[in-house]
Amino acid sequence: MLGGVDIELKDAVKLLMADVWLAACERRVIAPPLDPKSPKLSVIDVQGFAILFGPASGDECRLFIHRMAALDVLRALGTERVAEAAHLVSNGQFITTLNS
């Protein structure tokens, strides 16, 4: 019966990870440049109406969004110390997460 519990736990973790990842990616979106002449984009927090990253290329913005989503997942799983270590590796930039 222990195997069944393990499978249920793994499924619950996968669902949590998916939900947190999608919510993080919906919260942080790539926005067009404020200056129409600029080819650079920005990442904005649609809940806090703040520019989080940029100006940068589209690839850089997507990478930023995915890294922040990964940090949100780590925090949701209770691995706060791992998430904070990842934050330090990101050069100590302020990172807005779903839990902050």
Beta carbons of 37 and 29 less than 8 angstroms apart: no
Q: What is the pLDDT of residues 4-51, one digit of tens each?
A: 667 777 788 888 889 999 999 999 999 998 888 888 999 999 998 899
Domain layout of the chain by residue ranges = 2-89
Beta carbons of 44 and 51 less than 8 angstroms apart: yes
Q: What is the pLDDT of residues 46-90, one digit of tens each?
A: 998 899 999 999 999 999 999 999 888 888 887 766 667 666 666
